Amino acid sequence: MGVIAALAIALLLLPLVAIVLRTPWGDLAEVLGRPVVSDALRLSVVTAMCATVLCVVLGTPLAMFLAQASGVRVALVRSLVLLPLVLPPVVGGVALLEAFGRRGLLGGPLDAVGIRLPFTPAAVVLAQVFVALPFFVVTVEAGLRGVEERLAEAATAVGASRWLVFRRITVPLIAPSLAAGTALALARALGEFGATVTFAGNLGGRTQTMPLAVVEALRSDPDAALALSLLLIAASLAVLVGLRGRWLSGVRS
């Protein structure tokens, strides 16, 4: 058993170690300054943060709805929310294109009034929200379900408004799962590739996020590909450190 566990660890560790060893540490500052890297880094940070904010704003009410209600209706909604989680990202991209592309269901009418989504940073954010929202909602819903309903009821019984209950009781209690959900959504948004390249396109400075830039750099600038990969690994590690094992529990331990 121990041997197999060691092999499994090696399988996971070896590729990461290989990247760290092969990174051009001496020229790293110069490589990080190249447009393909710096443009992608700036775009990724901005779009992922916008997407994460949207996930929090849209996802918290949704998580509350799922946590409080029950029945077939809620089960259907929950399946819908979980769908982007299991869908291959490129399929998500095709779906977004069919909905918001120039000939899309909503995109067609929008294009007629001059609003064009594909090939813009907004499209990048939309693709990221589509894939990251389930991560946030699932985590926060789990946290909400762990909150004692009687605490909220007690507060309401002594006259607290719903907003006050939310602000002073619910939020502090689910703060850990809010933080965990936010971190997961951010990580997922940063790493998004398939839906982005299909729906938003691939243009340096406008829609070429770090994962897309890695693919581009692999063909023309291997050092930049390594530097970008290192940045993405560092970001992922930062998310894991921030989570500190709370992902699965969702409730303050």
Partner 1 sequence: MLILALVAAGCAGDLNEPVLHSAASLTDVVPDLVDAFGVTGGRTDFRLNVGGSSALAAQIGDGAPSGVFLAADEVTMGIAVDSGEASDPVVFARNRLVLVRRPRADVTGLADLAERGLAVGLCAPSVPCGSLARSELAARSIDPAVDTEEPDVRSLLAKVVAGELDAALVYATDAIVGGEAIEVVPTDLAGTTPYLAAVVGSDPPSGSTEFVAFLRSPEAQQVFAAAGFEAP
Query: What are the Cα distances from residue 237, in Å, to 16, 95, 103, 184, 244?
Result: 11, 31, 40, 12, 11
CB-nearer residue toward partner 1: 133 or 200:
200
Q: How far apart are CA 38 and CA 190, in angstroms?
A: 15
Q: Residue 169's closest CA among 188, 186, 149?
A: 149
Among 215, 236, 242, 247, binds partner 1 (CB under 8 A): 215
In whole angstroms, what is the distance from residue 251 CA to residue 253 CA? Answer: 6
What is the spatial distance between Cα 87 and Cα 12, in angstroms, rounded to a whole number?
Answer: 24
Asked if 166 interacts with partner 1 (CB under 8 A), we say no
Q: Is 119 in the site for partner 1 (CB under 8 A)?
A: yes
Question: Which residue, 211 or 250, has its beta carbon nearer to partner 1?
Answer: 211
218-247 positions binding partner 1, by CB under 8 A? 218-220
Residue 16 or 203: the one with the smaller Cβ distance to partner 1 is 203
User: Site for partner 1 (CB under 8 A): which residue of 59, 84, 89, 101?
Assistant: 101
Of 102 and 145, CB closest to partner 1: 102
Work out which of 24, 38, 102, 242 binds partner 1, going by CB under 8 A: 102
CB 59 within 8 A of CB 181: yes
Binding to partner 1 in span 184-203, by CB under 8 A = 197, 201-203
* Nearer residue to partner 1 within complex by CB, 47 or 182: 47
Closest to partner 1 by CB, 136 vs 193, is 193
Shorter beta-carbon distance to partner 1: residue 24 or 201: 201
Residue (of 188, 179, 190) closest to 250 by Cα position:
179
Which of 116, 121, 160, 166 is the binder for partner 1 (CB under 8 A)?
A: 116
Number of residues that bind partner 1 (CB under 8 A): 19
- The H or E element spanning position 126 is helix 121-145
Measured CA to CA, the distance from residue 24 to residue 35 in angstroms comes to: 17
The reply on whether position 97 binds partner 1 by CB under 8 A is yes
Q: What angle do the packed helices 222-243 and 171-191 form, to 10 degrees?
A: 170
Distances in Å between the Cα of 111 and the Cα atoms of 89, 100, 106, 108, 245 are 24, 9, 9, 5, 45
* Binding span for partner 1 by CB under 8 A among 18-26, 74-82, 154-162, 212-220: 212-220
CB of 218 to partner 1, least distance (A): 6
Q: What is the spatial distance between Cα 243 and Cα 144, in angstroms, rounded to a whole number?
A: 17
Determine the Cα–Cα distance for residues 47 and 31; give it in Å rounded to an integer. 22
Residues lying near partner 1 in the complex (CB under 8 A): 97, 101-103, 116, 118-119, 197, 201-204, 207-208, 215-216, 218-220
